[in-house]
Amino acid sequence: MKIIENEKNTSTIYLNDINETNKSEYEILNKDITIKDDYFFSIFTNILNRKRNSHEHFVYYEVSNSYHINPIQINNIEFRYNKEKWLNIKMNRDRLFSENIITQLKNFSKLEDNWDSYGASKISWSTIVNAIEFFMKIVDKYPNSPIPFISPYPDGRINVEWQKFSKELHHLIPKDKSNYFIYRMINRKEGALKDYYDKAIGIDDMLKIFSIWYSDDQF
Amino acid sequence: MINFESEYIEECIPDNDFLYRRAFYKTFNQKTGKFTASAFKLKSFKSKGKNKKGFSANWNKYSTPEKTSIDPISNKKFCVGEFKAIIPRKVDLNVNHTPSNYNQSHCTISAEKLLEDIDIYKAEESIAENCIPIYFPNETIKS
């Protein structure tokens, strides 16, 4: 990571050692993050990955709109960001998909315990962050992918249902992205039902499953 | 069979009788016209000292969709779906009438043994697919 001090108390941080090399630029302005590119999301999730993989990187967020997310700090640099701003930024990219998904995830984050009247757990921020990372990776790779239906799952996971003609893919998004995704692939072509259940370990594995489902006519 | 915790007698629920289940409106997928598996989560509970997984529903013999839609604790209104008792039984779940003094229609859908996560999801998906959404309170239609 390289930090360049600019005029007027601003700094630009280049996260060249993380993915998205040329695009990963954003700016800290008066300790509020100003995003300069649409790839903030992937940077953000990569930052979270680093936090999980290494003890020396600790990341800190202080949220200005009195909404607190887990404290995180990277290389002793303080980041402050506003939840609404963060969410809005993602809305600028692949707008239709993101707007729909982000709005729903935003609503899920407001659910309280017992939202289903049968003792459901609220949806944790880690699940929401995993969900956003997963969906953004799909949009990156498949810009024309359908918009999924998502619903909160009573143990704090998120349930996703994709539909493409006669095919459906249902799966759960776990709280911890290294954990497994349970999925179900369905094909109802010409009245015959093909139904397949399995587990995918982690986001990348689930992306492969999505890719098979999306591209393969048989599934 | 007499349930000593309840003044009501436990009865056998016929396969073709309907069971009602409350569902949060965000679990209703308008495209498919079905509730998702989220509405039928098999949760851990203890019964007679045994760990089990299951969920509650109301038997149509003693309840209505309107009655079921109201959460007795918060008084909030929810959507309601109905499915035949045979649906969970087809995926090896038990359907038992478990009335309480407060709810004669109460029944429990449960697994005999502790299932793997993937089997739980299978069972929930199967019930979701065969459940007919029958009641939507006005406030959920607006949202």
In SS3 terms, B12-51 reads as CCCCCCEEEEEECHHHEECCCCEECHHHHCCEEEEECCEE
Please indicate whether, in this complex, the C-beta atoms of B27 and A152 are within 8 angstroms of each other.
yes
Residue of B122 and A80 predicted with greater confidence: B122
Q: Is the dihedral of CA B8, B10, B15, B19 positive or negative?
A: positive
Identify which of A48-57, A201-210, B3-12 has the greatest average pLDDT: A201-210
The residue among B38, B55, B109 with the most chain A CBs within 10 A of its CB, best to mutate, is B38
Instruction: Give how far A213 is from chain B: nearest CA, Å.
Output: 18
Question: A–B: how many Cβ contacts below 8 A?
Answer: 76
Query: Cα torsion at B74, B77, B79, B84 (round to 10°)?
Result: 70
User: Is residue A29 over pLDDT 50?
Assistant: no
pLDDT at res. A14: 40
Least confident of A64-78, A149-163, A178-192, B39-53: A64-78
Q: Does B61 touch chain A (CB under 8 A)?
A: no
| pLDDT beyond 90 at A61 | no
Regarding pTM above 0.90, the answer is no
Residue B90 at interface with chain A, using a CB cutoff of 8 Å: no
Which residues of chain A have a Cβ shorter than 8 Å from any chain B Cβ? 104, 107-108, 114-120, 149, 151-155, 159, 161, 163, 168, 170, 172, 180, 182, 184, 197-199
Nearest CB to A172; choose among B27, B32, B121: B121
For range B78-90, the mean pLDDT = 97
pLDDT in tens, B102-120: 999 999 999 987 789 999 9
What are the tens digits of pLDDT across the range A101-157?
A: 887 888 898 899 999 999 999 998 889 888 988 988 888 788 778 889 999 999 999
Q: Which residue of B has its CA nearest to A166?
A: B32
| Whole-number pLDDT of residue A98 | 66
- CB contacts, 8 Å: A180 with chain B: 117
- CB–CB of A163 and B37 under 8 A? no
Q: Give the pLDDT mean for A68-77.
A: 30
Per-residue confidence band for A99, with pLDDT thresholds at 50, 70 and 90: low
Mean pLDDT of chain A, nearest integer: 66
Q: Which residue has the higher pLDDT, B106 or A31?
A: B106
Interface test with B, best of A112, A151, A185 (most B CBs within 10 A): A151
Residue A56 has what pLDDT? 29
Instruction: Kindly state whether B24 is in contact with chain A, defined as any CB-CB distance less than 8 angstroms.
Output: yes
| A27 pLDDT above the threshold of 80 | no
Question: Which chain A residues have a beta carbon less than 8 Å from that of B58?
Answer: none
Segment B27-74, tens digit of pLDDT: 999 989 999 999 999 999 888 888 889 999 999 999 999 999 999 999
Q: Which residues in chain B have their CB less than 8 angstroms from residue A154's CB?
A: 38, 41, 43
Using the predicted structure, report yes or no on whether residue B141 has a pLDDT greater than 60: no
Residue B10's SS3 state is coil
pLDDT value at A80 more than 80:
no
- Of the candidates B32, B43, B121, the beta carbon closest to that of A154 is on B43
Give residue B121's pLDDT.
Answer: 97
Q: Which residue of B has its CA nearest to A115?
A: B24
Residue B78 predicted with pLDDT over 80: yes
Contact flag B118-A116 (C-beta cutoff 8 Å): no
- Say if residues A103 and A16 touch (Cβ distance below 8 Å): no
Verify whether the Cβ–Cβ distance A117 to B78 is below 8 Å.
Answer: yes
pLDDT at B26: 95
Does the structure show a pLDDT above 70 at A91? no
Is the per-residue pLDDT at A17 higher than 80? no
**Alpha helix locations (H) across B1-143?**
65-69, 86-90, 117-130, 138-142
Whether residues B37 and A153 touch (CB distance < 8 A) is answered with yes
Question: What is each CA distance from A86 to A67, A92, A111, B37, B97, in whole angstroms?
Answer: 12, 11, 19, 30, 49
Q: Which residues contact B137 (CB under 8 A, 6 or more apart)?
A: B69, B77, B78, B79
Residue A173: pLDDT over 80: yes
Higher pLDDT, B53 or A70: B53
Instruction: Determine the residue among A111, A153, A164 to mutate to test chain B binding: the one whose Cβ has the most chain B Cβ atoms within 10 Å.
Output: A153
Higher local confidence (pLDDT), A6 or A137: A137
Q: Tell me: pLDDT of A41 over 50.
A: no
The vertex-A149 CA angle with A97 and A85, nearest 5°, equals 45
ipTM confidence score:
0.92
How would you class B86 by CB atoms within 10 Å of its CB: exposed for 0-12, middle for 13-18, buried for 19 or more?
A: middle
| pLDDT grade for B22, boundaries at 50, 70 and 90 | very high
The rounded percent of chain B whose pLDDT value lies above 90 is: 79
